Chains A and B, each alone.
Chain A
Amino acid sequence: MKKFLTNKSTFSNYMTYAGVVIAFIILTIMGEAGGLSSTMKGQLVPVCAYVVMALSLNLTVGVMGELSLGHAGFMSVGAFSGAVVASALQQAIPSDGIRLVIAMVVGAILAGLVGIVIGVPVLRLRGDYLAIVTLAFGEIIKSIVTNLYIGIDAKGLHFSFLNPLEGLEAGGRMIMNGPMGIPGNTKISTFTAGFILIIITLMIIFNLVNSRSGRAIMALRDNRIAAESVGINATKYKMMGFVTSAALAGAAGTLFGMSQNAIIASKFDFNTSILVLVFVVLGGLGRMWGSIIAAAALTILPELLREFSEYRMLIYAIVLILVMLITNNPGLKNLFGKLIPRRKGAAENE
């Protein structure tokens, strides 16, 4: 127990779990007691999804040190594959909860596979070039999903690319309709499911970061050449981090998709990738609790600013710029540095 409390990173990890659990309990009680407005209630599941997205991107950007600008692509893969699976299994499995779990697993696996396909070429590149290729992949995924048609009838699933699907048997229905996406989606995501996903995500990330593989990944981030010279296989460990991150983003996508009435591919565009990156950078690279707070606060902020109506996005932009200017102000940084000694930034979780 003494060792547990003296280990700073373990302590911070457990505090993160505790914070999430407390927030969940408070919000659930408030929801039951009617303390939350209906718009806030509607935001709970998307907030969970964005928190998981931010955590998974933090794994790529903060822990691996690679800038990804196409993370919404994985979210898109997860959202659409999950929704198709959930829709296809509607008759076979009546329980919403089990269907959601299956959909999430499928979403995560597919996004992970896409992560492998993208990771092979992407992780060979460095720095800004890697960023631009992830951006390109995000756009490609968006184009492909926009042109995909999936229908279901007695014979099973039917796929079509580019051309609208024809020749479904009587009683069959379209699940995915190209540019219109999935128009009639059944909402089966719940706040509890979102909470469980956040906890699972945290467990996966903390366990990875504190393992031998995690230390290898961080060694590669800090100095690739030095890490390789002591025998760390760069491709293997980068791939491990990237695919984990992609799979988590896929699960978050399923969670998000199943909380919407309609899913369209253009929702998961470059702007969404950037939005999640904003959460990660504002929360602090490598700091998981920071990502959680930033994602939750910034998803709710536009709702809270609703009274400013049309000015709210303008205010959001100004807040974003000001926060960046203030947190990076050398004078303030020194002040904080004196107040909180040994603040190590991204190396927090080592």
Chain B
Amino acid sequence: MLTFLNHFINGISLGSIYAIIALGYTMVYGIAKMLNFAHGDVIMVGAYVCFFAVSAFNLPPVLGLLAAIVLCTLLGIIIERLAYKPLRQATSLAVLITAIGVSYFLQNAAQLLWTSNPKIFPDFFGGIAIKMFDGQLIITLGTLVTIAACIIIMIALTVFTGQTKMGKAMRACSEDKGAAQLMGINVNATISTTFAIGSALAAVAGVLLCSAYPSLVPTTGSMPGIKAFTAAVFGGIGSIPGALLGGILLGVIEIFAGAYISTQLSNAIVFLVLIIVLLVKPTGLLGKQIREKV
């Protein structure tokens, strides 16, 4: 029972990281209707920035995180401006391939700058953990911080999209860009802001991810990126609560599948569950069913 609970907590912790990444995917998809494949690599950049801020400049972890957020936000805006903005009118496949190009670019630039030798990410939480039931149930500080970060981000985003003017503009853009423009909403600025927020979230996710799994290489972001993308689809792409639900479910399923069925097959099981969910509910768990009109 206690091992079960341990796995469950680990699953939620991993799922929280997926959820934070998935939020970035889902927001960008909801508004720009594009799969931003470079998102996973922004995570990697964020983790590297934090790593160097802390290990080379001896900054405290909080400032390292802040540096990562600022730089990733800038990076997100620059990528959007240079690579995606000229393609606003192009087909979604063209944008997809450009995103893949950006992803290759970031990975290879990271490889040149920082080599492919794994960097060992410092443990910010000093191994502090709450031990219960004679040490059978261990909850590390890192786990708690990750889950707390996910909840805070979730609430902040819900308030932001629901209450602020920019948030409302985002929702309007995701529903109908043409109509939003007619209402005087600056669609381009809204899309750029969405990319900025998504990239900032990616930086947070990168730091949390590397705190939990400390080996940092230029391809660190790609697999979590793909999984978070699946999580976003799982929950219903474009929906913020859906990304949270999808992320957490994906994390829990992955940890349980690894613990109780087979470590080698945990990825396969995660994807199998995704397929089954999409077959039963083709728009994801919380996705809106859109009627096709003739």
Binding site for B on A (CB under 8 A): 61, 67, 121, 124-126, 128-129, 131-133, 135-137, 139-140, 143-144, 146-147, 162, 225, 270, 274, 277-278, 281-282, 285, 310-311, 313-314, 316-318, 320-321, 324-325, 327-330
Contact = CB atoms under 8 A, between A and B. Distances in A.
B188 interface: no
Given A310-B111, A314-B112, 16 more contacts: A67-B93, A121-B275, A125-B282, A129-B278, A133-B278, A278-B97, A314-B105, A316-B104, A317-B104, A317-B108, A320-B98, A320-B100, A321-B105, A324-B87, A328-B87, A328-B94
A321 B82 CA distance: 10
B267 A139 contact: yes
Contacts of A133: 274-275, 278
Given A225-B294, A325-B87, A162 B94 contact: no
Nearest to B264: A147
A33 B237 CA distance: 56
Given A128-B35, A136-B274, A285 B279 contact: no
A278 B100 contact: yes
Contacts of A131: 35
23 contacts: A124-B282, A125-B278, A125-B279, A132-B230, A135-B226, A137-B275, A139-B226, A139-B267, A140-B268, A140-B271, A140-B272, A143-B265, A147-B265, A225-B294, A277-B97, A281-B97, A314-B108, A314-B109, A317-B104, A318-B105, A320-B100, A325-B83, A325-B87
Contacts of B163: none
A283 to B, nearest CB: 11
Contacts of B284: 129
Contacts of A330: 89
A282 B98 CA distance: 11
Contacts of B35: 128, 131
A321 to B, nearest CB: 4
B186 interface: no
B148 to A, nearest CB: 30
A325 B98 contact: yes
Interface string B89-130: 111011011101110110011011000000000000000000
B283 interface: yes
Q: How large is the interface on B (under 10, 10 to 19, 20 to 34, 35 or more residues)?
A: 35 or more
Interface in B173-220: none
A140 B279 CA distance: 16
Contact of A321 (B90, B98, B264, B268): B98
B118 to A, nearest CB: 17
B86 interface: yes
Ranked nearest first, the 5 interchain pairs of A and B with the lowest CB-CB distance are: A143-B268, A136-B271, A317-B105, A320-B101, A317-B104
Given A132-B233, A320-B104, A328-B90, A162 B265 contact: yes
B256 interface: no
B86 A329 contact: yes
B279 A124 contact: yes
Interface of B: 35, 37, 83, 86-87, 89-91, 93-94, 96-98, 100-102, 104-105, 108-109, 111-112, 222, 226, 229-230, 233, 237, 262, 264-265, 267-268, 271-272, 274-275, 278-279, 282-284, 292, 294
A278 B99 CA distance: 11
Contacts of A136: 230, 271-272, 274-275
A328 B292 CA distance: 29
Contacts of A125: 278-279, 282
Contacts of A313: 104, 108, 111
Contacts of A320: 97-98, 100-101, 104
A128 B233 contact: yes
B41 to A, nearest CB: 11
Nearest to A316: B104
B141 to A, nearest CB: 33
A117 to B, nearest CB: 11
A328 B98 CA distance: 11
Contacts of A285: 93
A256 to B, nearest CB: 21
Contact of B101 (A121, A135, A317): A317
Contacts of B294: 225
A317 B102 CA distance: 7
Contacts of A317: 101-102, 104-105, 108
B98 A324 contact: yes
A281 B264 contact: no
A281 B112 CA distance: 28
Nearest to B279: A121
A242 B233 CA distance: 23
Contacts of A147: 264-265
A156 B123 CA distance: 53
Nearest to B237: A128
Contact of B271 (A124, A129, A137, A310): A137
A43 B90 CA distance: 33
A314 B112 CA distance: 9
Contacts of B97: 277-278, 281-282, 320, 324
Contacts of B111: 310, 313
A132 B264 contact: no
Contacts of A321: 83, 98, 101-102, 105
A143 B264 contact: yes
Contacts of A225: 292, 294
A126 B226 CA distance: 19
Contacts of B83: 321, 325
A133 B283 CA distance: 12
A137 B282 CA distance: 16
